[in-house]
Structure formats: structure tokens, C-alpha cells
Amino acid sequence: MRFIYFKRKSKNLIFHLQEDLINLVRKYNELQIDDEEKKFKFSQSFKDNNDKLITFRYNIGNVVTDNKKKIYKKDEGYSKRCND
């Protein structure tokens, strides 16, 4: 099972990716693409426990970003370090 995991002010939130997004990320990661061509391809929005909307934007490389903060790919999902 793949998931998006991140910390915000000692609160841990886990969002499960939809299976089609998992397959899309896997497909893009298999492509041989130069860094200059890495652009956002799709995004997904969630609401956290405080009803705040969080949008994850995925690119076709191994690094995805959320509001200009890096999310580093892990073997079992995407992990974000958030200092807000």
C-alpha cells in the first residue's frame, strides 16, 4: 500500500493514494526524462483534520512538490518534511 505521509505541528496525517495515481507515478518514474523536462503533470487535493485544503502536485520525476516544499520519494510512498 502506498501512502502520502507528512507531519504538521506534531500531528501525523496519512492519505492513501488512489490506485490510478499510484500507477501513473510508477509509469512516469520508469521513463528516462531529462531534468529540464520535469514539469507538473497532475495534482491531488485533500482536507486535513482541521478541514484545511492541502494540494499535492506531482511531477514525472522522483521528487514531487507541495507548495514549493520538496517531498522525497520513499520505497513505500512519499514523505514530506514540513516545518510550518
Instruction: Report the C-alpha gap between 38 and 2 in whole angstroms.
Output: 22
CA atoms within 13 A on the CB side of 24: 14
Per-residue pLDDT of the chain (84 residues; tens, 9 = 90+): 344 444 444 344 444 445 556 666 666 666 545 444 444 455 666 666 677 776 666 544 444 445 555 544 443 344 444 333
**Which range marks the domain in which residue 17 is found?**
3-80
pLDDT over 70 percentage in the chain: 5
Instruction: Report the C-alpha gap between 22 and 26 in whole angstroms.
Output: 6
Query: What is the pLDDT at residue 63?
Result: 47
pTM above the 0.75 mark?
no
Instruction: Report the C-alpha gap between 37 and 60 in whole angstroms.
Output: 9
Overall number of domains in the chain: 1
Smallest CA-to-CA distance from 53 within 43, 38, 42, 61 is with 43
